[in-house]
Amino acid sequence: MKIKAKLQIGAVLSIGITVVISIILFLASRQVDKAVRQSGAVQNIVTKVFESNLLLNDFLLRHEEQAESQWHGNHEALGNLLAALTLDDVEERGLMNQVRGEHEKTAALFSQLVEGNKEQRRDRDEIISFLELEEKVADELSSRSRAMMSHAAALAELSQARAVGAQRQGSILVVVFTAAVTLVLAVTLVMVAGAVVNPITKLMEATRIIADGNLEHKVDVTGDDEIGMLASAFNEMTHKLKDSYTGLQDAFNEMARKLRKTKKEAKNQQGE
């Protein structure tokens, strides 16, 4: 394989791996973003659930309209947050559904509590009966509210762990693919160095030997790459140079031979 082709393959391979890495890192970073976003949304839900619990306690203490309207506002905001959140993880979805279920039930219980407070009661029995009912409803509401808080906290914990996991996975991917690109580049460089440096060293050595006058020397470099072709051309050139030298030597000696013969003949003629 030609050196140019080896370099081209190395370059294409590096570009290919870099593109794949970029895509994978892009997807990983999107996953991290999503996990962090979901974790943030779950934190907001936890805050709203906590606030809802505080407002419920406030209403149970004072039975004021302000606390009631704040509870409803908070309940609606919490409902919007719960509706907007989509989760991929099955466990998280399970917890989420539990929070949603508690959320719906608390709405019904709170309405029941508020309506009961608005009704007019005349005798003592009615009042006692109402207070007993209110206590029961309030207990259930508090219990549901605490359950909602507990589910939301568990959900927040899971969501945060998933975000951290996604970030860790992204970091591992960066390390693995950086190592892969480094390996491909190193292998390409070693291959090219082997294909170029060693034969060139042999060619340099051969040049020195031939320059010293040994025209019989042959460069021991094979292969169909550029260096192999250069070595072949070098050997051919040396062969032609040797032929040329031999030709020159033979021509000279033939001429000298003829000159000696001519001189000898002339001398013989003089002698006669």
Residues 6+ apart with CB under 8 A from 142: 53, 56, 57, 60
How far is 139 from 132, CA to CA, in rounded Å? 11
CB of 265 to other proteins, least distance (A): 16
Question: Segment contacting other proteins (CB under 8 A): 22-30, 153-161, 178-186, 248-256?
Answer: 248-256
Choose between 72 and 242: whose C-beta lies nearer to other proteins.
242
State the CB neighbour count (10 A cutoff) for residue 266. 10
Question: Segment contacting other proteins (CB under 8 A): 67-75, 80-88, 96-104, 257-265?
Answer: 257-265
For 175, 254, 255, 259, 264, the CA distances from 268, given in Å and listed in that order, are 96, 21, 20, 14, 6
Residues 6+ apart with CB under 8 A from 42: 85, 152, 155, 156, 159, 160
Question: Segment contacting other proteins (CB under 8 A): 65-73, 146-154, 172-180, 240-248?
Answer: 240-248
Q: Note whether 8 binds other proteins by CB under 8 A.
A: no
User: How much is the CA Rg of the chain, to the nearest whole Å?
Assistant: 47
User: Of residues 9, 37, 208, 245, which one binds other proteins by CB under 8 A?
Assistant: 245
Question: How is residue 129 written in tokens?
Answer: 């009966």
Taking each helix axis from N to C end, the angle separating 124-211 and 3-62, rounded to the nearest 10 degrees, works out to 170
User: Of residues 1, 16, 183, 252, which one binds other proteins by CB under 8 A?
Assistant: 252
CB of 218 to other proteins, least distance (A): 14
Residues near other proteins (CB under 8 A), total: 16
Choose between 26 and 245: whose C-beta lies nearer to other proteins.
245
Binding to other proteins, residues 178-217 (CB under 8 A): 212-216
Q: Give, as one character, the DSSP assignment of residue 180.
A: H
Residue that the structure tokens 């081209």 belong to? 8
Choose between 117 and 246: whose C-beta lies nearer to other proteins.
246
Q: Note whether 243 binds other proteins by CB under 8 A.
A: no
Choose between 117 and 253: whose C-beta lies nearer to other proteins.
253
How far is 201 from 185, CA to CA, in rounded Å? 23
Q: Note whether 255 binds other proteins by CB under 8 A.
A: yes
Sign of the alpha-carbon torsion through 109, 93, 51, 140: positive
User: Of residues 108, 248, 261, 267, which one binds other proteins by CB under 8 A?
Assistant: 248
Q: Note whether 26 binds other proteins by CB under 8 A.
A: no
Q: Which of 114, 93, 109 is nearest to 146 (CA)?
A: 109
Please give the residue ranges that form the binding site for other proteins (CB under 8 A). 212-216, 245-246, 248-249, 252-253, 255-257, 259-260
